[in-house]
Amino acid sequence: MDGGTYSYRLFTRSDFSAFWALFTDNLVNLLILSGVCQFVFQMPPEIVYGRIVPGAAVAILAGVAVYTLMAKWAATRQGRDVTALPYGISTPVMFVYLFGVIGPIYWATQDPLLAWQVGIGAGFMGGIVAALGAVVGPYLKRITPRAGMLGTLCGIALVFIGSVPLAEIFENPVIGFTSLLFILWGLIGRFRLPGNLPAGLVAIGAGTVIAIVLGEAKFDFSGVGAYPPVPYIGDMIAGIQYLFANPELFLVLIPVQIYNFIETMNNVESAEAAGDSYPVGLCQVTDGAGTMIGAVFGSPFPTTVYIGHPAYKRLDAHAGYIVGVALVIAAAAFLGFLSFLAGLIPIAAAAPVLVFVSVSLITNTAWSIKPMHMAAVSFAILPHISEFLMVKWGSLMNALRASGVEGLPALGDANLTAALLMEGAHYEGHLALSQGAILTGLIWGAIVADVIDARFRMAGAFALAAAAMSSLGIIHAPTLQMPQFDGITVGYVIIGAFLYLYPLVAPKEDLEERVIVPDEPDMMDDIPPAQRA
């Protein structure tokens, strides 16, 4: 078919199921950030629901407009239907902004207005950094093995998007299991539901009905009203001025935005692996611009291409699902329905949709890479497990303090670290792995994949790049720092030097012949066992 004459339908029936999955993802993020801002940082409702939430909705609308046009362009160019890239507030970066930027300002000043101003100032500056990713993003995409990029996404999907919602299901099993049943039947098993109803809608609806019957849902219309989006230029400038007066905050801001544009790059690669190709540089500019627009209208939180495109591709979605999510989120934000939905829809009813997104991403990764690269994917997942442990250990310590336990040492205390080590909990190692986990996972996935492919110099280059980033504190450190030649940096240098130098002197047969590892499948020929003679 001539790509120039191809007619792409933005809306199809299959967009309904995808809509409920993406809507749930965005809704959960908005519920979390509004709850933390209101009840942890004591921001008044007029800031949370009158400024932050409408600003986030404007950012989502702006990005969705671009990604809808991009999908139409891609379909016309390729002469076939494509699935638009999912888009919304970046979940990992949202938590960094909450507890790494807004939280410290509030705790230091007890001024929620200043904390919000610094938040939107940081969001605007961070958007600039994210957009600059377009300069290096296409090059990184060319040289980084797919297993490294998708593997680190699998780590996020496994521990944060999959296991946490699954735990929430088991905390409220009557509601959660009922919703999970319909996700298992309609989205994972792919069986039709009566009337061909979207499984995501049925899952959330069934869970919500049960919650109403059990008295675990409430109809609260007190927050409903008109909250039109308004630009807050003066407040944003005040926040930026505070940032430059306290430049140590940039040590949090810059690394997390580097993470954000790499997350965009990885998610675009995930879409390409599922069959839809988009220009990574333009996507990074769009995400940065969306973040900056959101900051102008009051939202501190960065936006990004979402994890999960393969799941929406499996559902045969077009672009209608992202358009629907943007319009519904905007309506809920501008009319104050977010607080109403927060009381009505239980987390356990929405959580199964996120579990599906997690499972689908991991499954698609396994199908889209060479079998022998699953070792690289597995390696890339591991740093995120450490990140998960650090988050939960921190939550445990905060919970103990909140419950009245006195005299608790801080995580990192030498005696506590030694005691944890005696119990087999390697705090220092997990801490190092958790800092910059997405970059660490990508790097190690790339090193392993390149070694498997005998691309030794490229593997060595990734190791030496990791040494430089470790030395500067981009990975394995809490903040940026002057160059340091610590143990982890030395370790990366040793790996990089070996991978560069040894292949120059090694016997040729040692570089061409593979060793058979006992009790391991031999997948070096890329032929699945079932297809071998």
More confident residue, 357 or 464: 464
Segment 321-339 mean pLDDT: 90
Neighbouring residues of 137: CB distance < 8 A, sequence distance ≥ 6: 261, 264, 265, 280, 281, 284
User: Which two three-digit tokens encode residue 309?
Assistant: 């495109």
Distance CA 121, CA 245 (A): 12
Write the pLDDT tens digit of every residue in 227-256: 899 999 999 999 999 888 887 677 666 656
Residue extents of the structural domains in the chain = 14-368, 377-401+411-510
Lowest mean pLDDT among 51-65, 192-206, 369-383: 192-206
- What is the reported pLDDT for 531? 38
Number of H helices, E strands in the chain: 24, 2
Neighbouring residues of 405: CB distance < 8 A, sequence distance ≥ 6: none
Across the strands, what pairs with 87?
305
More confident residue, 258 or 401: 401
- What is the reported pLDDT for 349? 87
Segment 425-443 mean pLDDT: 90
The values of phi and psi at residue 455, to 5°, are: -95, 70
Q: Exposure of 426 by Cβ count < 10 A (0-12 exposed, 13-18 middle, 19+ buried)?
A: middle
Kind and range of the H or E run holding 273: helix 250-273
Segment 344-361 mean pLDDT: 82
Quote the longest CA-to-CA distance of the chain: 76
Cβ–Cβ < 8 Å for 283, 261:
no
- What is the reported pLDDT for 263? 74
Q: pLDDT over 70 for what percent of the chain? A: 92
Distance CA 448, CA 380 (A): 9
The values of phi and psi at residue 524, to 5°, are: -70, -20
- What is the reported pLDDT for 133? 75
- What is the reported pLDDT for 289? 92
Instruction: Say whether pLDDT at 292 is over 60.
Output: yes
Q: pLDDT over 90 for what percent of the chain? A: 35
- What is the reported pLDDT for 92? 64
Q: 3: pLDDT confidence band, cut at 50, 70 and 90?
A: very low
Distance CA 67, CA 319 (A): 8
Segment 181-206 mean pLDDT: 85
More confident residue, 495 or 473: 495
Distance CA 135, CA 184 (A): 41
Write the pLDDT tens digit of every residue in 506-532: 998 888 888 777 666 656 654 443 333
- What is the reported pLDDT for 169? 93
Write the pLDDT tens digit of every residue in 63-93: 999 999 999 998 888 888 899 999 988 776 7
pTM of the prediction?
A: 0.70
Q: Which range, 209-218, 253-262, 493-502, has the best average confidence (pLDDT)?
A: 493-502
Distance CA 294, CA 298 (A): 6
User: Which two three-digit tokens encode residue 96?
Assistant: 């960094």
Across the strands, what pairs with 303?
89
Helices (H), 103-161: 103-109, 112-143, 146-156
Across the strands, what pairs with 304?
88
Distance CA 418, CA 420 (A): 5
Segment 175-203 mean pLDDT: 87
Cβ–Cβ < 8 Å for 341, 208:
no
Write the pLDDT tens digit of every residue in 108-120: 788 999 999 999 9
Segment 185-194 mean pLDDT: 86
Segment 302-330 mean pLDDT: 88
Distances (CA, A) of 42 to 37, 103, 116, 220, 237: 6, 10, 11, 21, 22
- The whole-chain average pLDDT of the chain stands at 85
Instruction: Say whether pLDDT at 128 is over 80.
Output: yes
